[in-house]
Structure 1
Amino acid sequence: MSRPREFDVDRVLHQSMEVFWNKGFKSTSYEDLTRTTGVKKQSLYCIFNDKRALFLKALVHYREQYIEILEKLEAQEMSPVDKLESLRDSLLNEEATYRGCLMVNSALEFGTEDDQVTREIELMFAEAEQILEKIVISGQEQQLITTRFSSRELASYLNNAILGTRIQEKSGASREQIKAVLRVSFSMILP
């Protein structure tokens, strides 16, 4: 008879995601993961198979959390401009951990050498852009956001600005520099 699992898989996945987010995939050792989670290597192997499989599940976990935040923002009862300002402010109010975005960090670490990692990154970027586009469309319909560009172009522009500030954050840019980029980027879409 097999031994019952003695740890919370979701908690371990979240903790592992944090380790990968801080250190990157290649710099993370199993010792880092076991020390942080308090779970033995063999037990991690039994659930997640190997470090790469755990990393891929961590990327999915990160994407789901990020998209859930954007979906909740998009569903709020406020003007589209207020939604975008709330998003901008939330990006500025996060703790200055200088760890960037797990997806951006992974894109920089892997490039296009791993198809599964690339697919997960592309999926998050596409889902985020779709949510941003819904907000932009609503703003354009209410004449609160410029129509000089299509909703898709503006959503792509905003998504790119957000991702760019994540690179700035990871590379140690000051909060003032990041704030300036976000302020200008978000104001560029107004009529």
Structure 2
Amino acid sequence: MSRPREFDVDRALRQSMEVFWTKGFKATSYDDLTRTTQVKKQSLYCVFKNKRELFLKALALYREQNVAMLEELASREVSPLMKLEAICEAALCQNDETISRGCLIVNSTLEFGTDDEEVNREVLLMSNQVERVLEKMIRSCQEQQLITTRLTSKELALHLFNAINGAKVMEKSGASREQITKVLSTAIALMMPEND
């Protein structure tokens, strides 16, 4: 007869995600995870099998949380342009404690490169989902002549997504909030219709 679980699995996963986000996969030890979650190594292994499995679940949780936040912003009753600006603002860390963490998905891409199929699958899922949300908002902006139509909504969504990812790398490398804000505001400004 197996013993009942003695810890909140969802809470432990969220806490583990924070550790991986701060330290990366390779630099995170099981001591880091057990210290943060207050769950014994054997108990974590029973649920998540190993550190890699826990990391992949943490990546999926991070993706789900971020896509849900974007979809919530996209559903607001404001102009599509204001939604895009809100998404750029939300892309920035909101406090000094997390300012140098960047984005867990971007960090994982930089850490693993293209060598890990399962990590790449999460990265690709995140990219596709975010681009789809951005493209829908950009198309709406184009229909209202708020954004240029010289490029397709898909091309502009890729442009903005790239700027957001670049901002996350800048954040991770210690760039100031002012510098990062300028990059994102410039990305939006370049999408504005030309005044002929």
Q: Give the shorter-chain TM-score range.
A: over 0.9
The answer to whether residue 13 in structure 2 is matched with residue 13 in structure 1 is: yes
Unaligned runs of 5+ in 2: none
1:111 paired to 2:119? no
Question: Which of 113, 117, 120 does residue 122 from structure 2 map onto?
Answer: 120
Instruction: Provide the aligned C-alpha RMSD in A.
Output: 0.9
Kindly state the Cα deviation for residue 92 of structure 1 after the two structures are TM-superposed. 3.9
Give me the whole-angstrom Cα distance separating, in 1, the residues matched to 2:116 and 2:88.
Answer: 31
Matches within 5 A, 1:36-115: 36-92=36-92, 94-96=94-96, 97=98, 98-115=100-117
Cα distance per residue 1:49-91 (max 9 Å; x no partner): 0000000000000000000001111111111101011112223
Whole-Å Cα distance in 1 between the matches of residues 56 and 62 of structure 2?
10
Give the aligned partner of residue 191 of structure 2.
Answer: 189
2-side partners of 1:93 and 1:21: how far apart? 13
Matched, 1:28 2:14: no
* Corresponding residue number in structure 1 for 2:175: 173
Distance in 2 (alpha carbons) for counterparts of 1:113 and 1:16 = 23
Q: By how many angstroms is 1:93 displaced?
A: 5.8
AA at the equivalent of 1:41: K
> Which letter maps to 1:122?
L
Identity rate, percent: 62
Residue identity opposite 2:125 in structure 1:
L
Kept in 1: contact 2:20–2:28 (CA 8 A):
yes
| 8 A contact 2:106–2:165 mirrored in 1 | yes
Structure 1: distance between partners of 2:92 and 2:121 = 28
Partner SS for 2:26? coil
Q: Give, in whole Å, the separation in 1 of the partners of 2:155 and 2:189.
A: 15
Amino acid of the structure 1 residue aligned with 2:44: L
Alignment match of 2:146 (pick from 141, 144, 150): 144
Provide TM-score, normalisation by structure 1: 0.98
1:140 is aligned with what amino acid? Q
- Aligned residues between the structures: 191
